[in-house]
Amino acid sequence: MIFVTGGAGFIGSNFVLNWLKEETNSIINLDKLIYSGNLLNLKSLKNNPLHIFVQGDIQDRALIRKLLNQYKPQAIVHFAAETHVDRSIYDPTPFIQTNVIGTLHLLQETLDYWKNLNEHSKNHFRFLHVSTDEVYGSLRQQDEPFKETSRYAPNSPYSASKAASDHLVRAFHNTYGLPTLITHCSNNYGPFQFPEKLVPLMIINATQGKILPIYGDGLNIRNWLYVNEHYEALCLVLSKGKPGEHYNIGSETEITNMDLVHTICSILDDLKPNSPYVPHASLIQFIKDRPGHDRRYSIDCSKMRQELGWKPKENFKANFHKTIEWYLNNMTWVEKVMSGEYRKWIQLHYKETS
């Protein structure tokens, strides 16, 4: 049994779905089901006895304690977080509450649980905290990629809250001996990503003939990782990672936001040649840059390769092609999540009038 937090969100749900395809260990899945957590992501697991879903908040210590004592997991994989930089700029408070206070409460209850395990179970227990490359801050074009030893320099309220949670996880290992692991992933893409994020937003807007908004000059550089490859890396860290260590998980692809959007448009042109919006790149519009917009992210994943034998398997364009096809084939899912809270956010953020 493993305990997953945030398992109805984008990366969390992909982890849960892949795990239950490949493993025999069951999952207790805790998710608050705020706007970005969606049970539709887990629809295929409705009658799966290995998946136990609980709606709840990681800030609820009594609930965490109850679940740990009831199900006695061998590991915790902690995805639950507020994740969108733009939302954190509008209101940092939920990010501190969930990412910092929530992680602290989860750590406190986990520590109490772990202390009462027998020696064998204690030695094999793991707490895997899934973090982000954004805690390292921004790079210039000529700078070397971030390593696990790079100093933290978060530039947004979101990345600051994740940095704080990382420090708490590290402190619980160094102070109390809790066997923790921390991963820093680059930008993920793939199925079930909430449409406020860049990749699904561009796909969905393009298919509907809406503008494709790009911040600033579009030359901000990101490293992109297919979510299923992230899953494989996390499993390796969970099984072979050394407690107390950090691991960078990313791809070998660095690309500007502008080039990324053009890649999406090019694939859509091929997949939907009869669309009235071909060429889809004609929908691109530049908008005012967001505050504190990091110029470049790049991470060195050589530690994952050398110590755990992991590197991404598939190429960037093939994975993007699969991702775009998934959204085109799952427009019912898209329509259901693009309502209510999400619509209000888009109208506020992009001043959408249509």
The order of strands in the sheet holding 51-55 is 51-55, 27-31, 2-5, 75-78, 126-132, 180-185, 246-249
Tell me the backbone φ, ψ of residue 82, rounded to 5 degrees. Answer: -80, 130
Catalytic residues: 133-134, 158
Integer Rg of the chain from CA: 20
